[in-house]
Structures are given as structure tokens and as C-alpha cells.
Amino acid sequence: MKKLMGLICVGVALIIVMTSCACENVSGNGPVAKEKSFKDVVDQFVEAIDNRDKEAVFEMFSEYVREKDKDLNKQINRLFKVYKGPTTEWYYDEMLSGEYTQEHKTQERAVSNIFPLVSNGQYYWCSLQLVQSNEKDSSKVGIKEVSFFTAEDYYVFCNENKEYKNKLGLAVYAEEKLDFPVCCIGSQPYDYNTTSTLVNKSAVSGFFRVSRDFEKFKDRFGKPRAVESSINCFYEMFQENEEKRYLELNIDEDTGEIITADVLNSFEVIENLLDNRKKETQ
């Protein structure tokens, strides 16, 4: 379910960042190109933000965007106000969204991704589209669109179907105020219950040796920290190597049996505590 939510959230977010090309590990239509590394561009973009280098951020957008987006400088100032930096880490899963397009005899390749960033213990999300090449108009090569979200705004965007207007250039969203904390688990935002206790991996593994009943699991370990649905939830585990760890459980709705148990950090799956792959019968 977590992965499904991520795909839905990314899919909706691409309404904001309309993709039009391919590169690296790209899911989309058309050939794969390597004109400009998405990761390198994001590294440069994040470095420019951390350095409070307004000119460097401005120049990373394509010449076409710089001319068309009359609000760009204002939004860069807003970004610096919302995002204090420095960035301690950012993460993307290397599967970029993109497709190859041809309009009016102009061939263009672009890629995009949505990724979390961490600064001063706070999470933010950034959706960035990069035009890698345009055979007829080189002024369009560069960053085309960036949507920058606080954790609260991205949570609302993903879970409450709030519409955000498409905007060429930069848009910073920092309006939402929620009455609960938002955490990042597996690169997705979740409503976080801070009163639940931490669980121990060895204790969980020991429990699974005798039972997979979710009600018994809750009796033993308490209620989850974050709930996505009646069949998917998260517990926080004790840290490993000073890094947060979470346990994601998927539950069979009919039997109440735990069918998968994955350990994650804030960005990705680390290991599986249950192996539920069924052998196919010939």
C-alpha cells in the first residue's frame, strides 16, 4: 500500500510537473538519453539553495523560463525564507518519470522526479523537471519547473487531493498548518502518532516465529505510529547507526494475518522480516 500511495502521489504531482523526456532510469515513452544527469542538476540546485546564491538558482532555470516567469525572483526569495538549510541529505530512487515528445517538428527530452530533502531535522519535498535537450530551441534546455513543498503542504497534496496550479518556473508551497506532525517513511509523508512506543527488531522477529496475528501484535507492541489504511501501518523501531528505522506491516483484510513486514529508513526499504513469496506450482 505504501508503494501504491507513492505512485498515486507522484502521478498526481506530475500534473504540476508535466514530463516530456527520458534519461537515466526513466519510466515513460521514447528513447533513453544522457544529455544531462538529473542527479548532478539536483546536486547543483541544492548546493545553490544552501549557499543562498540567488543568481545561481536563477541561472539554473532555462533561458526560456527566465524570460517567461516574471515571478521567478520573488519565488526564489520565498524559497530562501521557507527553506533555511543546510541540506543534510536528499534522496531519489533513480527511477525518473519522462517521455520523448515531438511537437511542431521540435524534438524535446525532459525528466522529472519528486524527492524529499532534510534540513535541521525537518522534511521538505521538491518536484523538479529538467529539459535535457531541445533540437530546435536550446533556450528551453535547463530546469523548467520546480514545485517546493513543506512537509505539511506535501501531506495535504498527497492525501486531500488539493489542486495546485501548473506553473512554469518556481512555485513554493508553505501555507498548510496541521495539528499533527508529518514524518517521512520510505520517501512518503505520513500522519505521525508520537505517543506510541518504539519496537525492537529482534523482539518482532521472535514474535513472527510464533504468530502473524495483527491483533496479537498490537497487544504485544502497542498501536502503530502511522496508519495508511486498515491493512497497512507503520511502527517506529530503535535507531541503527543513528538512523531512524520503521516497520511497515501489510495485513490481510479477511484473516487479520500480517503478510509482509518491511524495515525502512526515511527513504527506502532496508530489509524484509517476512518472506511471503509463494512458490508457483507447475
**Contact predicate 76/41, CB 8 Å:** no
Looking at residue 114, what is its pLDDT? 92
17-21, 47-51, 118-122, 266-270: which is most confident: 47-51
List the single range of 62-66, 186-190, 216-220 with lowest mean pLDDT. Answer: 186-190
Same domain, 219 and 149: no
How distant, in Å, are the alpha carbons of 153, 270, 272, 276 from that of 186? Answer: 18, 10, 14, 20
The reply to whether 43 and 80 lie within a common domain is yes
Burial 20-51 (b: 16+ CB within 10 A, else e): bbbbbebebebeebeebebeebbeebbebbee
| In-domain check, residue 278 | no
Three-class SS state of 272? strand
How far is residue 130's CA from residue 127's CA, in Å, rounded to a whole number?
Answer: 10
Q: Does 282 fall in a domain?
A: no
Residues 149 and 201 both lie in one domain: no
Q: To the nearest whole percent, how much of the chain has pLDDT over 90?
A: 56
Q: Three-state SS for 141?
A: coil
- Domain encompassing residue 162: 2-177
Distance CA 17, CA 128 (A): 7
Q: For the chain, how many structural domains are there in total?
A: 2
Residue 89 and residue 156 in one domain? yes
Quick one: 136 and 94 in the same domain?
yes
Q: Taking the model in full, what pTM does it have?
A: 0.78
Residues 173 and 199 in one domain: no
Output the pLDDT for position 97.
66
**Cα separation, 227 vs 202, whole angstroms:** 22
- Which pLDDT does position 241 carry in this prediction? 83
CB-CB contact of 131 with 62 (8 Å): yes
Answer yes or no: do 101 and 22 share one domain.
yes
Q: Is 28:177 a contact under the CB 8 Å cutoff?
A: no
- Are 72 and 170 in contact by the 8 Å Cβ rule? The answer is yes
110 and 248 share a domain?
Answer: no
How confident is the model over 254-278, as a mean pLDDT? 86
Question: Does residue 199 register a pLDDT over 70?
Answer: yes
pLDDT for the residue numbered 94: 66
Give the domain-ending residue among 177, 211, 230: 177
The region of weakest confidence among 9-18, 163-172, 192-201 is: 9-18
Task: Give domain status of residue 8, yes or no.
Answer: yes
- Alpha helix (H) ranges present in the chain? 2-13, 38-50, 54-60, 63-68, 72-82, 151-159, 201-208, 214-221
pLDDT of res. 92: 74
- The full length of the chain comes to 282
* Range of weakest confidence among 56-60, 183-187, 215-219: 183-187
Find out whether 261 and 237 touch, Cβ atoms under 8 Å.
Answer: no
Query: Is the domain of 56 the same as that of 152?
Result: yes
Decide if 185 is inside a domain: no
Strands (E) located in the chain: 25-27, 89-90, 95-103, 106-119, 122-134, 142-150, 169-173, 182-185, 188-191, 226-229, 232-240, 243-251, 258-264, 269-272
Q: 144, 177, 210: which is the final residue of a domain? A: 177
Q: Establish if 11 belongs to a structural domain.
A: yes
Which residues face 19 on adjacent strands? none
CATH number at residue 67: 3.10.450.50
Same structural domain for residues 76 and 157?
Answer: yes
- Quick check: 125 and 114 in contact, CB under 8 A? yes
